[in-house]
C-alpha cells in the first residue's frame, strides 16, 4: 500500500541488519521501495538490491557535495546504468549550499548534466535541495518538460508552488512529523494530492517520535499518517494516492 520513494538501503548503516529492516518495512504496509544512489558505489549497490528483490527499484546519480570529483567517464557509466531495466530515475542530484558553499559552479554543472540526461532518457529526476531554493529554481527553470521530484522538500510553501508549476512532484519525509515542522506541515497542506509523494530518506531524518535515531523504511507509515491528519483524509487514501503517484512518475507497474 505504501511506496517509500527515497530510501538508502545501500547505506553502510544497514550492513548488519538489512534483511530485518526490509522485513519490518513489508510488515508495515510498504510494498515498494526506491533505493536512491548518490555516488559510484551506492549507485552500484542500489542496482544490486533492485536485481535481488522484486519490490525494490533503483535510481543512480551524483550528489552535489561530490560535484567537484565527477569526471567525464563517470557520466558514461551513469548512462549505461540508466538503461538498466530496474533503474527508474536519475539522482539524487541538485544543489546543497549547506554542506558546500565553495564549489557552486561545479554543483550547477553536475546538476545540469543530470537534468539533461533525465530529459534525454525520459527518467524522472530526484532533486536534493538544501539552502539553495532560489538557485535550484533558476537552474530548473531553464528547462522544459521536466519530470521528477523535489525530494524531502525543505523549502517554503511559496517556493513549492513554483516547483509544482515546473511540473515537478513534491516529496515529504520525516520532518513533516517533527513537532516544530511548521514549514513542511504547511507544504503538506498546499501540495495537490496528485503531486505528492512520501519517503523516509532513511537512514536519515527519522520521524517523530524516533527523531535522531537511525531511520528505516517501515517509518514511512508515520509520514503518511501525519499527512493524512494534516489533509483531513484517511491514512488509506494518502497511502493509495501517493503510491499511485509514485508508480506513475517512476513508470512502475502498479501493484493490485
Interacting residue ranges for Ni ion, rule: CB under 5 A: 201
Q: Which is nearer to Ni ion, 4 or 201 (CB)?
A: 201
Q: Which is nearer to Ni ion, 5 or 245 (CB)?
A: 5
Cell 505504501 found at? 2
Cell 527515497 found at? 6
Q: Which is nearer to Ni ion, 11 or 190 (CB)?
A: 11
Strand residues in the chain grouped as ranges (E): 2-7, 30-36, 56-60, 87-96, 125-130, 148-150, 169-172, 196-198
Half-sphere exposure of 185 (CA within 13 A, CB side): 12
Q: Which is nearer to Ni ion, 210 or 235 (CB)?
A: 210
| Least CB distance to Ni ion at residue 38 (A) | 7
Cell 533558476 found at? 138
Q: Is 27 exposed, middle or buried (0-12, 13-18, 19+ CB in 10 A)?
A: exposed
| Least CB distance to Ni ion at residue 95 (A) | 14
Q: Which is nearer to Ni ion, 5 or 161 (CB)?
A: 5
| Least CB distance to Ni ion at residue 256 (A) | 29
| Least CB distance to Ni ion at residue 6 (A) | 6
| Least CB distance to Ni ion at residue 236 (A) | 27
Cell 513533516 found at? 176
Nearest residue (beta carbon) to Ni ion: 201
Amino acid at each position: 500500500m505504501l511506496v517509500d520513494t527515497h530510501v538508502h538501503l545501500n547505506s553502510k548503516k544497514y550492513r548488519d541488519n538489512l534483511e530485518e529492516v526490509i522485513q519490518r518495512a513489508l510488515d508495515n504496509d510498504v510494498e515498494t521501495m526506491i533505493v536512491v544512489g548518490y555516488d559510484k558505489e551506492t549507485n552500484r549497490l542500489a542496482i544490486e538490491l533492485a536485481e535481488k528483490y522484486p519490490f525494490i527499484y533503483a535510481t543512480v546519480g551524483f550528489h552535489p557535495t561530490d560535484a567537484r570529483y565527477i569526471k567525464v567517464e563517470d557520466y558514461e557509466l551513469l548512462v549505461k546504468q540508466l538503461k538498466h531495466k530496474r533503474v527508474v530515475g536519475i539522482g539524487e542530484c541538485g544543489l546543497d549550499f549547506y554542506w558546500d558553499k565553495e564549489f557552486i559552479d561545479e554543483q550547477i554543472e553536475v546538476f545540469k548534466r543530470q537534468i539533461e540526461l533525465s530529459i534525454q532518457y525520459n527518467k524522472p529526476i530526484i532533486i536534493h535541495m538544501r539552502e539553495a531554493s532560489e538557485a535550484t529554481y533558476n537552474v530548473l527553470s531553464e528547462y522544459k518538460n521536466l519530470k521528477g521530484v523535489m525530494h524531502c522538500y525543505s523549502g517554503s510553501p511559496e517556493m513549492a508552488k513554483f516547483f509544482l508549476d515546473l511540473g515537478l512532484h513534491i516529496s515529504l519525509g520525516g520532518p513533516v512529523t517533527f513537532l516544530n515542522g511548521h514549514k513542511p506541515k504547511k507544504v503538506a497542506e498546499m501540495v495537490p494530492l496528485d503531486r505528492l509523494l512520501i519517503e523516509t530518506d532513511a537512514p536519515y531524518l527519522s520521524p517523530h517520535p524516533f527523531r535522531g535515531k537511525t531511520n528505516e523504511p517501515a517509518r514511512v507509515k508515520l509520514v503518511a499518517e501525519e499527512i493524512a491528519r494534516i489533509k483531513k483524509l484517511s491514512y488509506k487514501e494518502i497511502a493509495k494516492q501517493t503510491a499511485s503517484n509514485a508508480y506513475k512518475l517512476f513508470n512502475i507497474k502498479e501493484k493490485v
